[in-house]
Chains A and B, each alone.
Chain A
Amino acid sequence: MKVMVFVPGDAKSEAGAMPTDDLVGKMMKFNEELVRAGVMLAGDGLTPTSNAKRVRFSGTQRTVIDGPFTESKEIVAGYWIWQVKSMEEAVEWLKRAPFDGGVEVTIRPIFEPEDFGKTLSPELRAKGERLRAEVERQRQS
């Protein structure tokens, strides 16, 4: 299974302060460990929300809002995508990350194709069937 790990930001990351050399070093070591274990698929840090934009959708109207979004309770400052066998494995990996100071990091499983198979509405499923029947017909003609 794949999971996405959300690292929250704080006042410091929002102010654009770079982490200390010590923390960068520890984080690099942790990332290296993840890569060497074949667990890490992707991961990045995000710049402060002062660089961010939002688009609000309302009917046909699109409104662009400029950052920063200081009112947001949960600002994401970084993410990983991991390939793991279970949520427990993801938790065990995350426990080894060099975070501190009461920060709470969230792990969320990414939908697998099988999940869609189960939740697909009968209409969508029928549409898929028709599409495949058409493909089959074209193949044989």
Chain B
Amino acid sequence: MTAQTTRRTVEAVWRIESAKLIGALLRLVRDVGLAEDLAQEALVAAMERWSESGIPDNPGAWLMTTAKNRALDEMRRRKMVERKHERIESETSAVAQVDIESALDDDVGDDLLRLMLIACHPVLSKEARVALTLRLLGGLTTEEIARAFLAPEPTIAQRIVRAKRTLAEARVPFEVPRGAGLSARLSSVLEVVYLVFNEGYAATKGDEWTRPTLCEEALRLGRILAERAPLEAEVHGLVALMELQASRLRARVGPSGEPILLRDQDRSRWDQLLVHRGLAALARAESLDEPLGPYALQAAIAACHARAPTAAETDWTRIVAIYDALVEVTQSPIVELNRAVAVSMAFGAEAALELVDAIVDEPALAAYHLLPSVRGDLLAKLGRDDEARAEFERAAKLAQNSRERELLLARVRACSTKSS
């Protein structure tokens, strides 16, 4: 086996095992930084050993045993420091060994969940949570994370080091909470996972590598979570939302990288496997018999699109009904604006314009170019071209993206020709 094949195999094993390894070590040493260091040391040892003797039959167990022994050494060393003047009896270390072994073998299924909750602890900034999650749970290297977020590698490295320090200093509890406590903590995890997904989904910059990697990573984390916290409806809601959105990945960008709107997409290119998985995850969220949260509701809207064979067959009345619930849950003016768009599709521009007019003074939307853009579209549909043109002009001024600005200016011109 050449050095390169060994390296690639070790990388693959690392991807499969690293989170499990770090999770088990964390339960033992209760320090994220130390747990990761120990796991990394085991990886380095593996790299050296396996390049000589070949990959063992059970590489995961090999890594676990090696890491276990290092943890044991480390804990002995720490105990030694603690009881500098006491004599350590051989029994003590024997007992410790038994404890550690049973602790490492006895994964009651909470290790990964605990690791996720800690990596996404609210004491950390959002950026730190994202970096730490990709590193500890995705097994991504600092270089890969930096590449995905178009940030310099030292910045990401710094971010991870600081995050670990913050966690150590804050002495965050390591117990996995239950019930309402778990839901509250999970919301932070879900936020991070969806952030990673969107970073990939919306990637307009960066190389081809970015988008699929981050989307797939987020989906994988979501699927792992769904197995660890099966009674949390929002976990299934988020998985459903990501599966359904990912099902459209290959239909939403044209050959020269230009975005294609939902209504114009070639639906035969939607990934039916992911559609199917998304609908199943949504059904799982709905079966849990609690009011649907924002992720499940967004997934329900995505499901309406997924079920429509053509854009014209979209069930807009149902989408409006789901938006009603979503507005109630989120209280977000942006959601209200989206709801107005759905209303225009279901009940016509006039009804929608009334809704938009009710939120025009919303401070949160003051600089939001889609507000005048939507309002202009509704006015144009009602034949009020002069007013529509003014709105499109305003929207073009606010738009950040040059492609979008061009489209809006084209609509300004269209209004001018019609009204003159």
Interface positions of A (Cβ within 8 A of B): 1, 35-39, 41-42, 81, 83, 85-86, 88-89, 91-93, 112-114, 117, 120, 125, 128-129, 132, 135, 139-140
Q: Which of B8-16, B43-51, B68-76 contacts A (4 or more CB under 8 A)?
A: B8-16
Q: Which residues of A contact B216 (CB under 8 A)?
A: 83, 85
Most chain A CB within 10 A, of B59, B212, B221, B255, is at B255
Tell me whether A128 and B254 are in contact (CB under 8 A): yes
Residue from A35, A81, A113, A140 within 8 A of B411 (CB atoms): A140
Residue from B212, B228, B264 within 8 A of A135 (CB atoms): B264
Tell me whether A86 and B277 are in contact (CB under 8 A): no
Nearest 9 A/B pairs, CB to CB? A113-B250, A38-B223, A88-B12, A38-B220, A89-B12, A38-B224, A92-B12, A36-B227, A135-B264
Residue from B15, B223, B411 within 8 A of A85 (CB atoms): B15
Q: Which residue of A has the minimal Cβ distance to B251?
A: A113
B123 touches A (CB below 8 Å): no
Q: Which residues of B contact A132 (CB under 8 A)?
A: 254, 258, 260
- How distant is A16 from chain B, measured CB to nearest CB, in Å? 28
- How distant is A109 from chain B, measured CB to nearest CB, in Å? 13
Interface positions of B (Cβ within 8 A of A): 8-9, 11-13, 15-16, 59, 208, 212-213, 216, 219-224, 227-228, 249-250, 254-255, 258, 260-261, 264, 269, 273, 277, 410-411, 414
Q: Which residue of A has the minimal Cβ distance to B58?
A: A96
Tell me whether A41 and B222 are in contact (CB under 8 A): no
- How distant is A115 from chain B, measured CB to nearest CB, in Å? 10
Tell me whether B9 and A39 are in contact (CB under 8 A): no
Given A38-B220, A38-B222, A132-B258, CB of A86 within 8 Å of CB of B273: no
- Chain A at the B interface: mostly helix, strand, loop or mixed? helix
Residue from A38, A39, A135 within 8 A of B221 (CB atoms): A38
Q: List 10 A-B contacts (CB under 8 A).
A: A1-B212, A35-B223, A41-B277, A83-B220, A85-B213, A91-B12, A125-B255, A132-B254, A135-B260, A139-B264
Q: Which residues of B contact A37 (CB under 8 A)?
A: 16, 220, 224
Q: Which residue of B has the minimal Cβ distance to A140?
A: B410
- How distant is A117 from chain B, measured CB to nearest CB, in Å? 6
- How distant is B99 from chain A, measured CB to nearest CB, in Å? 26
Given A38-B224, A92-B59, CB of A86 within 8 Å of CB of B249: no
- How distant is A124 from chain B, measured CB to nearest CB, in Å? 10
- How distant is B394 from chain A, measured CB to nearest CB, in Å? 19
Q: Which residues of A contact B249 (CB under 8 A)?
A: 113
Q: Which residue of B has the minimal Cβ distance to A112?
A: B212
**Bound: A123/B152 CA distance, A:** 41
Residue from B9, B16, B250, B414 within 8 A of A140 (CB atoms): B414
Q: Which residues of B contact A1 (CB under 8 A)?
A: 212
- How distant is B103 from chain A, measured CB to nearest CB, in Å? 20
Given A85-B15, A88-B9, CB of A41 within 8 Å of CB of B250: no
Q: Which residues of B contact A129 (CB under 8 A)?
A: 255
**Bound: A81/B274 CA distance, A:** 12
Identify 14 new A-B residue pairs, CB closer than 8 A, beyond the known A41-B273, A140-B414: A35-B227, A37-B220, A38-B224, A41-B277, A85-B216, A89-B16, A92-B13, A113-B249, A113-B250, A114-B212, A120-B255, A125-B255, A128-B254, A132-B260
Q: Which residues of A contact B16 (CB under 8 A)?
A: 37, 89, 92-93
**Bound: A126/B16 CA distance, A:** 42
- How distant is B345 from chain A, measured CB to nearest CB, in Å? 15
Given A36-B227, A83-B219, A92-B16, CB of A114 within 8 Å of CB of B208: yes
Q: Which residues of B contact A41 (CB under 8 A)?
A: 273, 277
Q: Which residues of A contact B9 (CB under 8 A)?
A: 88, 91-92
**Bound: A42/B276 CA distance, A:** 10
**Bound: A35/B281 CA distance, A:** 13
**Bound: A43/B220 CA distance, A:** 17
Residue from A39, A88, A128, A139 within 8 A of B11 (CB atoms): A88
Most chain B CB within 10 A, of A86, A89, A129, A139, is at A89
